[in-house]
Chain A
Amino acid sequence: MEKERQNKKPILEVHHVSIWFTRYDQGIRRSSLPVIRDLSLTVEPGEVVAVVGASGSGKSLLAHGILGILPYNSHMEGEILYGGEPLTKERAEKLRGNGLALIPQGVTYLDPLMKVGAQLTRGRKDEKTKERCRQVLEKYGLGPETADLYPFELSGGMARRVLIASAVMDEPRLIIADEPTPGLDARAAGRILGHFRELAETGAGMLFITHDLELALTIADRVVVFYAGETIEEARAEDFQDEGRLRHPFTRALFRAMPSHGFAPIRGSQPYPGTVSSGCPFAGQCEAGRKECGEADRIPVQRVRGGLVRCLYPEKEETV
């Protein structure tokens, strides 16, 4: 299985991407606020990659950056490849809704004044599109009458399924799900995640952005841990079975914070974007942190035990 995956060409490659926000300080002084710094990840066909990070760590912007729909007051550097070729703004525009799909957070992402069907078909009125719309709704347990409902007539779970249906309208090769489960109970969330797994089984690559590590581990093949706009570790989901296999002190702390592993809180809080200009963003809270962790210009990414870690002194493998 592992070998098979390696032979596949990644559907999405993100290399050293940074995203800045331009804002005005005290009226007229312009400043650039880095929200995502030096981010790299890959998604292969049939694979679910989870990006896990706390709120305010810049996760949603990553999704918008890949789709090329960042707000006008931001800019992006670095390289994104889709199917091996650079994903330029123009190419992203062509691919959106046609190979590249987003599953957003909730019902506010549906036009409140437009019927569900019209939003799924994007205004196309041919029989084929209508038929496809009925198909995808049915696939997620929604009857054809759903197309005639307005978003305010949907329940929370229905809205979530409508959003997934809208993402798979055109059989995308890459699906980015941005926090698709908040507000759902465990069973409903589980059902939604089951749909994601199914999508991956059909060969689509899946980038699953969430703040819920436990939830992510139930379906992800690989987990990318995000902290204050930086990727600090990329690990296989199996690595999370055992704290000793994790590489970064923050990931270990995150592991210990899970209810099933001691429920130990992480001390301190994530720094605001733009406040950390050098060194490791976790340096202030790290128990193993040394002087140079906060002073080093940039912490390089190292390959450790088959995963990636951005740490000067990655944790040793140990059996706990």
Chain B
Amino acid sequence: MRHRLLFTAKKLLRMGLLLLGVSIVTFLLMSASPLDPLQTNVGQAALGTMSQEQVERLEAYWGMDTPPLERYAGWLTDLLCGDMGTSLLYRQPVTSVIWQRLSSSLLLLLSAWVISGVLGLLLGVAAGVWRGRWPDKLIRGWCLLLSSSPAFWLAILLLLVFSVWLGWLPAGLSVPIGMESSLVTAGDRLRHAILPAVTLSITGVSNIALHTREKMVDVLESDYILFARARGESMGSIVWRHGLRGISLPAITLQFGSVSEIIGGSVLVEQVFSYPGLGQAAVTAGLGSDLPLLMGITLITSAIVFGGNLAADLLYGAVDPKIRRRAAK
């Protein structure tokens, strides 16, 4: 147990350093951005009609008059005091913007994560078991096709088929247009989340399925599977008892590693479906030079991704007998 705690503490320290690094890189990238916040957000024409004093006030608002180093230092000190700042575009505290956006994205992210994990695992196992035969060829072909089509293109395709042609599902947003928010039901939210969630999971499936298949093939070719067969275990028992056990460790890595891909994918997918989630807010913040918001979102998503990997590492300890027995000593 002490071993496990020490391990977690080390990991958390590393996470702190990682987040610091990520924030610096994000800040540098934003500073190097060719976008002029005033021209983007106020507009060239409006800017032309303003007085010098008005322009200066706007520049102060967007932080253009402060040297970058001072700006970053200020942001960091505030962050350490627990203040992530105020979003320049939404005019709300960054924490509350992120909280709102994350809670509407969460349904999307979680369902895509679970669906892609479960489906990917099942398809991968099936392909591995029937290696070289038609189910394998079918699954592999399907996965290669999907992994070579970009997520946003797939999103547009699904949008065309299911909401434009068939009209089964709404084309965008997370709630029906023009409806009072108190009247929106959970069913409405669910219906709006289906297409983006499906798009997100489909792209995640192929990666997990192909990796699972490789691992399954390795396991099934191993000496201990041969011996299990020699002991008279049936194919079903072998896959169930030894196969799934053998792929459990890589499956954990894949599943938690896919958190980053799901979050990355959500940026594009939410954009296509105009889904007001965290991904869309990230795009808005980036294009609108909303530095505090972008920094906040980057930090939170990095922390989530890191948390995913940490969870995988901790689960490893629970699943792998070698680590478990050592930790128990």
**A interface, CB within 8 angstroms of B:** 64, 67, 69, 72, 93, 95-98, 101-102, 104-105, 108-115, 118-119, 122-123, 150, 152-153, 166, 169
A113 lies within 8 A of B223 (CB): no
Query: Which residues from chain B contact A115 at a C-beta distance below 8 Å?
Result: 321
Q: Does B45 contact A (CB under 8 A)?
A: no
Given contacts A97-B232, A123-B237, contact A110 B321 (CB under 8 A): no
- The answer to whether residues A110 and B224 also contact, given A122-B237, A150-B325, A152-B322 and a CB cut-off of 8 A, is yes
Residues of A within 8 A of B228 (CB): 111, 119
Whether, in the assembled complex, B245 has its beta carbon less than 8 Å from a beta carbon of chain A, the answer is: yes
CB-CB under 8 A from A98, the residues of chain B are 232
> Quick check: A109 and B226 within 8 Å, CB to CB?
yes
Return the contact of A96 from the options B222, B224, B230, B246 (Cβ within 8 A). B230
Nearest chain B residue, comparing its CB with the CB of A60: B226
Cα–Cα, bound, A97→B231 (Å): 4
- Determine the distance from Cα of A150 to Cα of B324 in the docked complex, in whole angstroms: 11
* Alpha-carbon distance between A108 and B188 when the two chains are bound, in angstroms: 55
Contact B224–A108 (Cβ < 8 Å): yes
Known: A113-B320, A123-B241. 17 other contacts (CB 8 A): A69-B230, A96-B229, A96-B231, A101-B231, A102-B227, A102-B231, A104-B223, A104-B230, A109-B224, A109-B226, A110-B224, A112-B224, A113-B248, A118-B241, A119-B228, A119-B231, A150-B321
Are B322 and A166 interface neighbours, CB within 8 A?
Answer: no
Within 8 A of A (CB), among B26-85: none
Q: Quick one: closest A residue to B132, CB to CB?
A: A72
Please state if A153 and B226 are interface contacts (CB–CB under 8 Å).
no
Residue of B nearest to A118 (CB): B241
* Minimal beta-carbon separation of B189 from chain A (angstroms): 41
Q: Which residues of B from 149 to 163 have beta carbons under 8 Å from A? A: none
User: What 0/1 readout, one digit per residue, does chain B (207-248) give for beta carbons within 8 Å of chain A?
Assistant: 000000000000000111011111111000100011001101
B contact patch SS: helix
Q: Which residue of B lies closest to A111 (CB)?
A: B224
- State the B residues within 8 Å of A (CB): 132, 222-224, 226-233, 237, 241-242, 245-246, 248, 320-322, 325
List 6 A–B pairs whose Cβ atoms lie within 8 Å, in order of A's numbering. A102-B231, A104-B223, A109-B223, A110-B227, A113-B246, A118-B241
- How distant is B19 from chain A, measured CB to nearest CB, in Å? 34
State in angstroms the CA–CA spacing of A72 and B225 once bound together: 14
Q: How far is the CB of B90 from chain A (nearest CB, A)?
A: 50
Q: Which chain A residues border B227 with CB–CB below 8 Å?
A: 102, 104, 109-110
Whether the Cβ atoms of A113 and B226 lie closer than 8 Å is: no
A213 and B120 CA atoms in complex are apart in Å by 51
Do B237 and A114 touch (CB < 8 A)?
no
Q: Which residues of A contact B231 (CB under 8 A)?
A: 96-97, 101-102, 119, 122, 166, 169
Residues of A within 8 A of B320 (CB): 113
Q: Which residues of B contact A102 (CB under 8 A)?
A: 227, 230-231
Distance of A113 Cα from B242 Cα, bound (Å): 8
- Closest Cβ of chain A to B279, distance in Å, is 38
Instruction: Please name all residues of chain A whose beta carbon is closer than 8 Å to the beta carbon of B226 when the two chains form the complex.
Output: 64, 69, 104, 109
Question: In the complex, A74→B322 CA distance in Å?
Answer: 36
Q: Which of B227, B242, B321 has the most CB of A within 10 A?
A: B227
Report which of A96, A101, A111 forms a contact with B245, defined as CB distance below 8 A.
A111
Distance from B298 Cβ to chain A, minimum over Cβ atoms (Å)? 38
